[in-house]
Amino acid sequence: MSKPKFDLKPVQQLSSHSVLIWRIVQAAVWLIGAAILFCLLFFPSIGLLLFWNILIPVAPALLVVGTGIWRNVCPLATTNLLPRHFGLSKRKKLSATQLGRLNLIAVIALYAIVPLRHALFNNNGIATALLIISMAVTGVIAGFFYEWKSVWCSGLCPIHPVEKLYGGNVLITMPNAHCDLCQNCVVPCPDSTPNIHPKSSVKTIYHRVSGLLIVGGLPGFIWGWFHVPDEKATTALSALIGVYEMPLLGFATTLVVYWILSIIIQPKFERRLIGFFAALGVSCYYWYRIPALFGFGSFGDDGLLINLRNELPGYCIVMVTITAAIFFFYCLFIKKQNNKSWLIRPQFADKQGRMKSKLSV
């Protein structure tokens, strides 16, 4: 099996000792995920706090710094890859068109699900748990049929478009702790391609549209999302529709701006433009999320972790959010592309899917 042209990094094979350590870490993080799921079902106030106000707020910054860390330990990925790890997968491969379609579905799912946090998920532990369980069931079923991360982690997962946007210039690269050998199941492999971004692949119309929607639309979508309060008990259909209005308004605005800019700028600056929109999106997220976590939000207790309003002067929070924005713009827009991938590709398998070196012994 030939190396794809995107692979510019040396391969790295984990020793059995390193595999054991990664399995322990994955099991530990999986147990934390299972505990959060248990709390969401049976102690919803604790589960909602742990999931929406601790785990999720950390995620965007983690993706900017080291997307590969999350790709190696994500409990959902660990669950979905179990059939492959245990040799129960049929290991089918997707065509470029199929993968493009999954990527587009992932982007649409992201924009469809996130506004529902205001109407449902932020205040309903069982609904949040069912959302997670439904994603795990989908991923596990896919894992029984398709090779490694192709269908879920690099295809259908609604977080994956955000990984590709924010993970374009990561600071940390690490070994791939899931794929024992590279079966070339996704081309380009998002884990192994240096400075991957949502427009790295333009093979089909689905790839192109999904890239455009996530790069252009996400910053405005985030801005709009933070201008909607949580509905404490939504029953009316109008309230359900209402939670989409501001995010979609913001989405459309930045999408049009990005689209115009991407037409008028020279192609050599397109990567820079993507980095700018990525930095804008993640900075906007923390601009609103950090104040809300510490009691300085616009909508009372929405998204509150701990209320420091009486302990901290407001300018401290402003300084933290400005520092965060400077950091994200530095990483994603100002800093030179560092030729790092999220993970280091394992050795390529031979045509029978086995390790090449073992055959030559």
Q: Which residues bind ligand SF4 (CB under 6 A)?
A: 148-149, 176, 179, 182-186, 189, 191-192, 345
- Closest CB to ligand SF4 among 142 and 189? 189
User: Rounded to the nearest whole angstrom, what is the least distance from the CB of residue 92 to ligand SF4 in the complex?
Assistant: 13
- Closest CB to ligand SF4 among 147 and 230? 147
User: Rounded to the nearest whole angstrom, what is the least distance from the CB of residue 190 to ligand SF4 in the complex?
Assistant: 7
User: Rounded to the nearest whole angstrom, what is the least distance from the CB of residue 290 to ligand SF4 in the complex?
Assistant: 33
Match 């950390």 to its residue by tokens: 58
User: Rounded to the nearest whole angstrom, what is the least distance from the CB of residue 175 to ligand SF4 in the complex?
Assistant: 11
- Closest CB to ligand SF4 among 66 and 216? 66
Q: Which of 150, 148, 113 is nearest to 134 (CA)?
A: 113
Tokens of 70: 């999350």
User: Rounded to the nearest whole angstrom, what is the least distance from the CB of residue 345 to ligand SF4 in the complex?
Assistant: 5
Q: Which of 118, 167, 160, 117 is nearest to 139 (CA)?
A: 160
At position 313, the amino acid (one-letter code) is P
Tokens of 204: 């089909």
- Closest CB to ligand SF4 among 64 and 185? 185
Interatomic CA distance for residues 49 and 44, integer angstroms? 8
User: Rounded to the nearest whole angstrom, what is the least distance from the CB of residue 94 to ligand SF4 in the complex?
Assistant: 10
- Closest CB to ligand SF4 among 123 and 154? 154
Residue ranges of E strands in 146-284 = 174-175
Residues 6+ apart with CB under 8 A from 169: 195, 275, 331, 332, 335, 337, 338, 340
Tokens of 4: 């794809």
Whether omega before 188 lies within 30 degrees of 0, making that bond cis, reads: yes
